Homo-oligomer: A and B are copies of this chain.
């Protein structure tokens, strides 16, 4: 047996194994559709096999990877059907969250939206990763308006599973950035009626582009 002498990732705490592996998957550092071997991964993270295996069980329960009985864990490509289903659920959860925002003045109102875009010079542009992260953050913030842990958990899970697809959409859709800016602005203005409308259009659009992505 060859002992690995390189350690690409610094030793992680046992309770951060889950986050570390998830990051590797979301960044596609683990190739798509391939088996995930526990031992090399444990070696790279500087932990024992057990926490790696347990993190993989957690990730497969969250449907971020697949656990094939008698075969092992595999990274997964998201099917066109799964994308459509996740977007449909995403829109439903966002609409639920916005419908629960209290605007009657009797109770605390909407959570203050953060500044999603920092001040930029007009020529400066974000990397695709940062742009997608802003969209993910926007959806997370909207989900928190629900005050419902399961809705928040659902949106986070969809963000994780759709992350790779969103990066592809960013490349495919010419004015993806403008759409994101508009969503953030409407949310910042607390214009919930217009925001609901814009979210619906956004989701219809990405589902349409997702069809192009798969059938071309």
Query: Footprint of B on A, CB under 8 Å?
Result: 15, 53-54, 57-58, 61-63, 69, 82, 85-86, 88-89, 92-93, 96, 100, 147-151, 153-154
* Sample of 5 more A-B contacts, CB < 8 Å, known A57-B57, A88-B148, A92-B93: A53-B54, A57-B58, A82-B149, A85-B148, A89-B148
Contact status of A96 and B86, CB under 8 A, knowing A58-B57, A61-B58, A61-B61:
no
Chain B residues with CB below 8 A from A92, complex form: 92-93, 96
CA distance A89 to B54 in the complex (A): 28
* Nearest CB in chain B to that of A152: its residue: B85
Chain B nearest CB from A97 CB (Å) reads: 10
Q: Which residues of B contact A93 (CB under 8 A)?
A: 92
Q: How far is the CA of A61 from the CA of B153 in the complex (A)?
A: 11
> Can you name the residue of chain B whose Cβ is closest to the Cβ of A158?
B150
What chain B residues lie within 8 Å of A62 (beta carbons)? Answer: 61
Q: How far is the CA of A168 from the CA of B67 in the complex (A)?
A: 36
Nearest opposing residue in chain B for A149, CB measure: B85
**Which B residues are CB-close (under 8 A) to A89?**
96, 148, 150-151, 154
Are B96 and A88 in contact, CB atoms less than 8 angstroms apart?
A: yes
Instruction: Give the distance to chain B from A68, nearest Cβ to Cβ, in Å.
Output: 12
Whose C-beta in chain B lies nearest to the C-beta of A90? Answer: B150
